[in-house]
Amino acid sequence: MPKILIVEDDEVLLESLKDCLSLEHHTIESVTDGSSGLDRMLICEYDLIILDWGLPNLSGLELCKRFRDSGGNTPVLMLTGKRSMEEKESGFDVGADDYPTKPFNMRELNARVRALIRRSGRRISGKVLKVGDVELDPSNFRVTRSGREVRLIPKEFALLELMMRNPGQLFSADALFNRVWTADENASPDIVRTHIKNLRKKLEAGSQDRIIHTIHGVGYRVGG
């Protein structure tokens, strides 16, 4: 599940964006001013950042410039009502990757979001993932093991999807927490251990072989 930061001070538009992108099963974080946006952008890891041009404290233009100057390379989609070529050039010159102008169609915005995430190398295809006898279908949020359906809650699904997209890669609890949980949620990395335990219990019902491996003191991996 790609993780997206939205920096937008129009609360009506912000809620519409969150609703629209959540339906696409993205993990969403949001803030409403430029300073808070910059703090999140410099500390947290995202697959895409959506910025409004006109923000309190720091404009989207300045925010994007500071982020790029700091070495940030996450794709940035900038929202604005400014339509002149000179203004669009200003957005691209500071490092924006796309520049839809308001009002925009939410369906088109979703297509732009998918394109930017694909371009960044983050795979969001609906291709069924398979590790051993476990299959995960991102398009309908279905997991099976040896043909038996395994019912997972969203966070369990997100953890499993992340690890199955990177078989053999070792993830620390902190890394999994930062990728799957948002800064808005009142939680700590300890919650990862609880979810991994529950995920294992569901996947390994009937004493099947272990699919999630623990490297004690280091982290977790699937396969490999």
**Amino acid at residue number 161:** E
Question: In sequence order, which residues have a C-beta less than 8 Å from that of residue 27 and are 6 or more positions away?
Answer: 1, 2, 3, 4, 158, 180, 182
Question: In sequence order, which residues have a C-beta less than 8 Å from that of residue 125 and are 6 or more positions away?
Answer: 138
Q: What is the pLDDT of residue 67?
A: 94
Percent of the chain with pLDDT over 70: 95
For 101-141, the pLDDT digits (tens) are 888 889 899 999 988 988 776 555 558 899 999 999 987 88
Instruction: Classify residue 51 by its DSSP letter.
Output: E
Question: In sequence order, which residues have a C-beta less than 8 Å from that of residue 37 and are 6 or more positions away?
Answer: 5, 7, 31, 51, 55, 58, 63
| Mean pLDDT across 35-60 | 91
Q: Identify the architecture of domain 3-119 in CATH.
A: 3-Layer(aba) Sandwich (3.40)
CATH class of the 129-222 domain in this structure: mainly alpha
Using alpha carbons only, give the angle 217, 218, 223 rounded to the nearest 5 degrees: 125
Confidence of residue 224 (pLDDT cuts 50, 70, 90): low
Residue-range domain boundaries for the chain? 3-119, 129-222
Residue located via tokens 């070529």: 85
Conformation bin of residue 90: beta by default, left when phi > 0, alpha when psi is -120 to 50: alpha
| Mean pLDDT across 160-166 | 90
Q: Which two tokens stand for residue 100?
A: 């839809």
Q: What is the pLDDT of residue 121?
A: 62
For 49-107, the pLDDT digits (tens) are 999 998 998 999 999 999 999 999 999 999 988 767 777 788 888 999 998 888 888 98
Neighbours of 197 (CB within 10 A): 10
Conformation bin of residue 147: beta by default, left when phi > 0, alpha when psi is -120 to 50: left
Q: Which two tokens stand for residue 20?
A: 């629209």
Question: In sequence order, which residues have a C-beta less than 8 Å from that of residue 72 and are 6 or more positions away?
Answer: 41, 42
